[in-house]
Amino acid sequence: GGDSAGGHISTAISLLAAARGSRLPDTIVPIYPVFSIDISTFYPSLLLSIDEEILSQHALNFFLKCFKG
């Protein structure tokens, strides 16, 4: 498990283990992992970041583009 990055890491490691034929965890409980990085799709939570001072929509788009490579 884990929040945000921890949720993403635990999910990614579990997928990697499955691809390599390793033993899988009994349970995965990711909390707010990054499952979709499609910034062209509207999500209601995006409305919360439009005027956010610390993590603006512009900053989120920048970080997601960096994450995707």
- Contact indicator for 59, 53 with CB cutoff of 8 Å: no
Encode pLDDT of 23-45 as tens digits.
988 988 877 666 666 667 777 77
End-to-end CA distance of the chain: give it in Å, rounded.
Answer: 25
Q: How far apart are CA 57 and CA 31, in angstroms?
A: 21
Q: Which two tokens stand for residue 61?
A: 């788009």
| Tokens read off for 6 | 């921890």
Cα gap 60→54, rounded to integer Å: 10
Q: What is the pTM of this model?
A: 0.48
Q: What's the pLDDT score for residue 11?
A: 80
